[in-house]
A and B are shown apart, each in its own frame.
Chain A
Amino acid sequence: DVKVTQSSRYLVKRTGEKVFLECVQDMDHENMFWYRQDPGLGLRLIYFSYDVKMKEKGDIPEGYSVSREKKERFSLILESASTNQTSMYLCASSLSGIATNEKLFFGSGTQLSVL
């Protein structure tokens, strides 16, 4: 089975801190994604990457950046954390995104609180 691992289940940070969220997948997937999930707003795509060092903005990229130096690792960076970035962050991966039968696999999520 595909395993997508997020390094932290819970994080508490201060306003203005630089925050790194790490995600690792073990199935040689091309595509990796970062979503945030908020009550009443559902899942929203922040950034995704379809190859090493490649990235594309999702629907809500403001205040975030990403890094993909190795195929298996995709990092989300909050340059200067703010209280409105308190949320559940979910990482996901898929094989290549070309075939119509490819599933999306999620990590367990990181609940980030910015105080």
Chain B
Amino acid sequence: KQEVTQIPAALSVPEGENLVLNCSFTDSAIYNLQWFRQDPGKGLTSLLLIQSSQREQTSGRLNASLDKSSGRSTLYIAASQPGDSATYLCAVKTSGSRLTFGEGTQLTVNP
């Protein structure tokens, strides 16, 4: 059974800092990995999707990498801003249409 772990559970940084969020998964036979953002009391918004054949994806200040063999992904946020404060979740797709989610990293960017 696929398991997804995100470390740390919470992270607090000063504005402007570059930061890395980590995601690990136990079964490397994945179709893709997605990073999501969730604001308090709201739904999830897809940020980046990395297909199993890809190594990384970039969108603005965000860069996500994937190392399938080691079962790891990182989300790099450059020049963090208070508006980046949210919970970030990763999810892997291993079979059919189902995704397995991590519990998320709660990020706080302090002005």
Contacts and interface: CB of A to CB of B under 8 A. Distances in A.
A113 interface: no
Contact of B103 (A31, A42, A90, A104): A42
B77 to A, nearest CB: 19
A2 B53 CA distance: 25
B43 to A, nearest CB: 4
Given A42-B102, A104-B91, A109 B41 contact: yes
Contacts of B107: none
B72 to A, nearest CB: 19
Interface in B27-59: 31-32, 34, 36, 41-46, 49, 51-53
A101 B51 contact: yes
B43 A108 contact: yes
Contacts, number: 56
B42 A109 contact: yes
Given A42-B103, A43-B101, A50-B97, A100 B46 contact: no
Given A101-B32, A103-B49, A42 B42 contact: no
A101 B49 contact: yes
Contacts of A101: 32, 49, 51
**Chain A binding surface, main DSSP class:** strand
A26 to B, nearest CB: 15
B96 interface: yes
Q: Which of A48, A100, A108 has the most CB of B within 10 A?
A: A100
Interface of B: 31-32, 34, 36, 41-46, 49, 51-53, 89, 91, 93, 96-99, 101-104
26 contacts: A6-B43, A33-B97, A42-B101, A42-B103, A42-B104, A43-B89, A48-B97, A88-B41, A90-B43, A94-B97, A100-B31, A100-B32, A100-B52, A101-B49, A103-B46, A103-B49, A104-B34, A104-B44, A104-B91, A104-B99, A105-B46, A106-B36, A106-B44, A107-B43, A108-B42, A109-B43
